[in-house]
Amino acid sequence: MEHIINALPLPCGKRTIGSEKALQSIHEQNGTLHIKLQFPYPAQHLAPELRQTAEQALQRPVELLISHQILTRKVQAGINTINGIKNIIAVASGKGGVGKSTTAANLAAALARMGAKVGILDADLYGPSQPTMLGLTGKKPEQRNGKFIPVQSAEGIRVMSIGFLIEPEQAVVWRGPMVSQALQQLLFQSDWDDIDYLFVDLPPGTGDIQLTLSQKMPITGAVIVTTPQDIALIDARKAIDMFQKVNIPVLGILENMSVHICSQCGHQEALFGSGGGNRLSESVNVPLLGKLPLSLPIREAMDNGNTAALHRQHTEIMRLYRDAAFRIAQTLSEQGKDYSNKFPKIIKG
Ligand SMILES: Nc1ncnc2c1ncn2[C@@H]1O[C@H](COP(=O)(O)OP(=O)(O)O)[C@@H](O)[C@H]1O
Ligand SMILES: [Mg+2]
């Protein structure tokens, strides 16, 4: 029986229960099989489909009990991971205005709803938008023992943003080194509480600030957001090159504003061109995680700070973000485990 269960395919991709080493126990009660599964990523949403597959294969009623245990994966060589944060995912785009912050907020919301402990570090000093997008404008992080305590959103996302601390006009006059210094402080001097996935919403571009941050922050993987426009794709490619240079795996590309869906008649139009994300994905050999439409409900939800309502009311959009977030979590789980914190540090005298 164990081998039948291990051979059961997961609803997407080539994975099986066996490939994920998910099977923990099987026990039979009144003709029903109770199967306990533990995945290295949140997988509760697979339950209905997986249960059907299992019942067909095993020819009897099945109850699945799905849990997850998310481990810390390794980061760039020579950098230690941070206590309280298991995995950092950088969200980057070469170009501004392509929906990087929107994507980071919605991926975080999706993983939070899947049961993961999620955080966002809003590192876009020149345009911090996470406080607005996550409904936290006017909030201030408290301090304890000289550390900031990230502000918690309605969905349980822990958020730190430079937007909580300074007026937007203040940052504009800061020079590059000051900016990367301030952002590192936000990361290293906050009291993160056992976060599985921390999304870092990086400032747009591939200049000194981005490069410094990718060398100083322990980043497990990066996600690139782009529109299908050539001008955005060229910059997205630069961002991919930058991460590859500093040995941060690029987990995937998300195409945003792919088609415009008219909220009156449902007509679809590729305002920014089509197929760009696919072409980029093929040429750099990085998977395309999804294509998000340019849609009024997304824009409104971000302005109102209500990703929860967006995902509840628009299931097709919820699914796109959820599937992308799930693939990111799955891809991370394939990376080597981190041991940087397990060994005492060698201090050279
Ligand atoms: N898929 C989308 N549909 C509609 N509006 C979007 C979409 N993605 C982003 N937006 C809107 O576009 C603007 C820019 O997005 P934002 O996430 O702030 O971009 P970036 O962080 O890359 O500068 C925001 O007002 C946002 O609400
Ligand atoms: Mg932004």
Distance of CA 269 to the CA centre of its chain: 28
Higher pLDDT, 337 or 43: 43
- Average pLDDT for 260-277: 82
Residue 104 beta carbon below 6 angstroms from any ligand 1 atom: no
Specify the ligand 1 atom closest to the Cα of 293: 1
Cβ proximity of 227 and 260 under 8 Å? no
Q: Is the pLDDT of residue 169 over 90?
A: no
Cβ neighbourhood burial of 2 (10 Å; 0-12, 13-18, 19+): exposed
- What is the per-residue pLDDT for 173? 72
- 65: CA distance to ligand 1 center in Å? 37
Q: Is the pLDDT of residue 346 over 70?
A: no
Max distance between CA atoms of the chain, in angstroms, equals 71
Quote the mean pLDDT of the chain: 92
Higher pLDDT, 273 or 113: 113
Across 2-11, 160-169, 216-225, least confident range: 160-169
- What is the per-residue pLDDT for 175? 79
Across 11-15, 131-135, 280-284, least confident range: 11-15
Which residues have their alpha-adjacent CB atom under 5 A from ion ligand 2?
101, 124, 129
pLDDT tens digits, 15-68 = 999 999 999 999 999 999 999 999 999 999 999 999 999 999 999 999 999 999
Domains of the chain: 2-68 (3.30.1340), 85-333 (3.40.50.300)
Specify the ligand 1 atom closest to the Cα of 225: 22
Pocket test for ligand 1, best of 102, 133, 257 (most atoms within 8 A of CB): 102
- 256: CA distance to ligand 1 center in Å? 8
Using alpha carbons only, give the angle 307, 309, 314 rounded to the nearest 5 degrees: 95
Q: Is the pLDDT of residue 257 over 70?
A: yes
- d(CA 38, CA 234) in angstroms, rounded, equals 40
- 297: CA distance to ligand 1 center in Å? 11
Q: Is the pLDDT of residue 271 over 70?
A: yes
First vs last C-alpha separation in the chain = 58
- What is the per-residue pLDDT for 290? 95
What are 121's two structure tokens?
């570090």
Question: Which pLDDT band holds residue 168 (cuts at 50, 70, 90)?
Answer: low
- What is the per-residue pLDDT for 107? 98
Residue 72 beta carbon below 6 angstroms from any ligand 1 atom: no
Higher pLDDT, 179 or 318: 318
- 97: CA distance to ligand 1 center in Å? 6
Give bridge partners of residue 148 from the DSSP assignment.
Answer: 143, 190
Specify the ligand 1 atom closest to the Cα of 296: 4
- d(CA 82, CA 73) in angstroms, rounded, equals 12
Nearest ligand to the C-alpha of residue 95? Answer: 1
- 128: CA distance to ligand 2 center in Å? 6
Give bridge partners of residue 151 from the DSSP assignment.
Answer: 159
Is residue 213 within a helix (H) or strand (E), and if so which, with residue range? helix 208-216
- What is the per-residue pLDDT for 349? 46
- What is the per-residue pLDDT for 343? 57
Using alpha carbons only, give the angle 270, 315, 109 rounded to the nearest 5 degrees: 95
